[in-house]
Structure 1
Amino acid sequence: MSVHMSTMTFSRLQRFFWICSGTPVSVIEKYPTEHSKYIGIGATIFFTAFFAGLSGGYALYFVFAGSAFAGLWALLFGLIWGLAIFNLDRYIVSGINKSSKGLKQFYQASPRLIFAVLIALVIARPLELKIFDKEIREQLRLRYLSDQREMIGKVQSSFREKYALELGQIAGYQKEYDSLSSEVNRLREELKAEVFGSHTATTSGVEGYGTYARNKELVVKAKQTRLEFLAAQLAGLQEYMNRQKAAEGINAQSIQNEKEMDQAVAVAGFADRNWALGELTHSANDVSRSSANAVTFITLLFIAFECAPLIVKLLSDIGPSDVDIREAESRIISQLTSSTFLSRTRIVREYRTPGSKKGGRRAKRYLSNKRW
């Protein structure tokens, strides 16, 4: 019982691959020596379409990333894309004429081979994005971090240009304040030395609060007054600039943290991920060269996979099924292009009632009247 069931399953699978090969099943069944060849061709076409569906669905998933129906749209598009590639591959393979010989076959198949290579490139790219997902995420992190720093730098540069006068005043006041503050501290030390009678190059060495001490104290008070004025001006300008920074969003500019960066990378679109893969494979370091080689080999693998049915059919000898199809097409073309007006097949075809297997009564009457 199990052997019978497995035989039935194999038979159905075999017929399914025959259908995928693009050659009529009725023709393949007549020639047992052709069964394996068309199973291989059909299986290759099917799995190419299967990978195309996965590739297309994965690519569209990033188009709708973040949407509640992203998975549904990706599944629907992947199914449609896989069926489209399946239909194209069947047409490409079935369109090869085995009646030609030698290089003529390759000349006839060259447009189909070019088309197959283009399909392979389209299929391979989204799958390469998935294979190098981890490396792409790291590359996107570096890019987003660089973009944020550049954006913050541009905003701050624009702000500095807009408020150049105020910032210039702050810088001037701050410079004067720092210089004056150092000088006031020095004069206080000199006043203290003068009062205590310490003899230096700037003190009299006479202990007590004398004339020199009073003069130094007046100088300190004058400079202290100027220092307080500068401090008030700086405080007012700083407060004004802080209000302007808050109003124009300067204070809100900051580098994203790890969690925010992960979220940004997770919703990155197809274009960003494709750029990251290209950047990863065109850098000069050893890791990038290794990744570039891997991407090249994957692309070549898909090209070989897509062209395999064509190559198999081109390199294989003319089989019984090819001869059968060629002769059937020749007979049909000969009948359809026959120039004999009294050809029985042509008259029956012209006067036959749609859906009937034989010619109508008008055709029979016409033929009987034309007999001598």
Structure 2
Amino acid sequence: MKSFFWWCAGVHRETLERYPEEHNKYISIGATIFFTGLFAALAGGYALYFVFSGSPFAIFYALIFGLIWGLAIFNLDRYIVLSIDKNRNAAKQLLQALPRILLAILIGLIISRPLELKIFDKEIREYLRTEYLVQQNAKIDTLNKTFENKYLVEYGQLNTLKTQADSLEASIKTSRQQLNHEIFGTKTDETSGVMGYGPYAKMKESALNQQQNYLDTLRGRIQQKESTLLQRKGAEGLLDQRILSDKSLDSAINVAGFADRNAALSNLHKKPDGTVNKSTENAVIFIALLFIFFECLPVFVKLMSGKDAYDNALRNQREIHDYESDSGVRVEKTAIDKIEDYRVDASIKKRMDKLQAEFEES
């Protein structure tokens, strides 16, 4: 396990083994890089699972993509840590790490989103249930309004007939009261006040019958007009639109894509009355910040740690390699061991020449 985490940290094993006090430090850095790649693999696989949700190969695609994505993030994090040169001063190290920190923040946001979708899965399902119902109702209302605009003349005629029927029905009610007053001899402005079924009562009854017959005609025309419009609705498919049942809603939510779930998570803190649920909003933000911090952690650890013996050894080896390339003179390993524990300054070339000469004489 130690060797594996060293490999994750990208250390030079032969050099690091000579400094036991630095072993745990680089094990921690390697473990952080490894688990960052592991979380990225889980997040990427989960995201792609919803892209191919419903397909028999969804799990297979998710595993393949999750593995590739996790390895890509792992390799990128490994490169970010390896590229920080601890032999520079603090300002140059920070400047060197700044683009990598920004990149780490972006990666943290990317890998945290799919895992946030899983963490808030229950709340997202309830939000999507409400949202789909609202969308279905809005769709039905829009279709009905479009149909009414298309048959505006017919609906105008229907409304006119209904208005006439309502007015005539009120008039019949008044005429019936007047007939009763006439028969029972109640004196009003419209009745004679003579009890009995006389000429005035007969006249009022005849007028009432005519109104009733006309009202029946109007109702028949209204029923015919409504039947015609209903048939046209059926022909144009409006009657097939239904409010989603619980079973239909569950099916729609199960096949909801990544975009719908991501939008639901973004709006999860918004209540139907327009207010904001701060606890949910803060929870989403804190989880995202946690993954961003976790992604930036290897870089921060590398920046905060002081220059150790392993860093000095690497610098010595690089400068010796540069010296050998420039001078064409090979420096023996014994000479390297003699200077490896000391700071290499501007006089490294002279010191190496002297040590090489002493080694050749001995």
The normalised TM-score by structure 1 is: 0.81
Structure 2 residue aligned with 1:48:
36
Answering whether residue 207 of structure 2 is matched by residue 230 of structure 1, we say no
Q: After TM superposition, list the pairs within 5 Å mapping 1:26-37 onto structure 2.
A: 26-37=14-25
Distance 1:197 1:300, change over 3 A: closer
Answering whether residue 317 of structure 2 is matched by residue 317 of structure 1, we say no
Q: In the aligned structure 1, how far is the partner of 2:280 from the partner of 2:50?
A: 22
Q: After TM superposition, list the pairs within 5 Å mapping 1:64-103 onto structure 2.
A: 64-103=52-91
Q: Secondary structure at the match of 2:105?
A: helix
Answering whether residue 325 of structure 2 is matched by residue 333 of structure 1, we say no
Q: Which amino acid in the other structure matches residue 332 of structure 1? A: H
Q: Which amino acid in the other structure matches residue 303 of structure 1? A: I
Structure 2 residue aligned with 1:179:
167
Q: In the aligned structure 2, how far is the partner of 1:179 from the partner of 1:244?
A: 28
Deviation of the 1:86 alpha carbon: 0.6
Q: In the aligned structure 2, how far is the partner of 1:253 from the partner of 1:228?
A: 33
Q: Secondary structure at the match of 2:56?
A: coil
Q: In the aligned structure 1, how far is the partner of 2:236 from the partner of 2:325?
A: 80
Deviation of the 1:188 alpha carbon: 3.9
Q: In the aligned structure 2, how far is the partner of 1:211 from the partner of 1:301?
A: 95
Answering whether residue 31 of structure 2 is matched by residue 24 of structure 1, we say no
Q: In the aligned structure 2, how far is the partner of 1:281 from the partner of 1:161?
A: 38
Distance 1:185 1:333, change over 3 A: same
Q: In the aligned structure 2, how far is the partner of 1:168 from the partner of 1:305?
A: 66
Q: After TM superposition, list the pairs within 5 Å mapping 1:139-158 onto structure 2.
A: 139-158=127-146
Structure 1 residue aligned with 2:106:
118
Distance 1:188 1:60, change over 3 A: same
Structure 1 residue aligned with 2:151:
163
Structure 2 residue aligned with 1:263:
251
Q: Which amino acid in the other structure matches residue 245 of structure 2? A: N
Q: In the aligned structure 1, how far is the partner of 2:292 from the partner of 2:151?
A: 59
Answering whether residue 115 of structure 2 is matched by residue 127 of structure 1, we say yes
* CA-to-aligned-CA distance 1:135-163 (integer Å, 9 cap, x gap): 22222223222222222221111111111
Answering whether residue 325 of structure 2 is matched by residue 302 of structure 1, we say no
Q: Which amino acid in the other structure matches residue 294 of structure 1? A: A
* CA-to-aligned-CA distance 1:241-290 (integer Å, 9 cap, x gap): 1101111222233321222222222222211111122112466746x211
Q: In the aligned structure 1, how far is the partner of 2:116 from the partner of 2:283?
A: 9
Structure 2 residue aligned with 1:243:
231
Answering whether residue 191 of structure 2 is matched by residue 203 of structure 1, we say yes
Q: Secondary structure at the match of 2:216?
A: helix
Structure 2 residue aligned with 1:215:
203
Q: Which amino acid in the other structure matches residue 183 of structure 1? A: S
Deviation of the 1:329 alpha carbon: 2.3
* CA-to-aligned-CA distance 1:197-218 (integer Å, 9 cap, x gap): 5555433344555432332233
Match of 1:274 among 246, 262, 281: 262
Answering whether residue 235 of structure 2 is matched by residue 253 of structure 1, we say no
Structure 2 residue aligned with 1:8:
none
Deviation of the 1:78 alpha carbon: 0.9
Deviation of the 1:190 alpha carbon: 3.6
Q: Which amino acid in the other structure matches residue 168 of structure 1? A: G
Q: Which amino acid in the other structure matches residue 23 of structure 2? A: H
- Structure 1 residue runs of 5 or longer lacking an equivalent are 1-12, 346-372
Q: In the aligned structure 2, how far is the partner of 1:35 from the partner of 1:87?
A: 21
Q: Which amino acid in the other structure matches residue 296 of structure 1? A: I
Higher alpha-carbon deviation: 184-193 or 308-317: 184-193
Distance 1:316 1:155, change over 3 A: same
Deviation of the 1:298 alpha carbon: 1.7
Distance 1:285 1:187, change over 3 A: closer
Q: In the aligned structure 1, how far is the partner of 2:89 from the partner of 2:177?
A: 109
Q: In the aligned structure 2, how far is the partner of 1:297 from the partner of 1:228?
A: 70
Deviation of the 1:89 alpha carbon: 0.8
Q: Secondary structure at the match of 1:251?
A: helix
Q: In the aligned structure 2, how far is the partner of 1:270 from the partner of 1:104?
A: 41
The normalised TM-score by structure 2 is: 0.83
Q: In the aligned structure 2, how far is the partner of 1:106 from the partner of 1:196?
A: 106
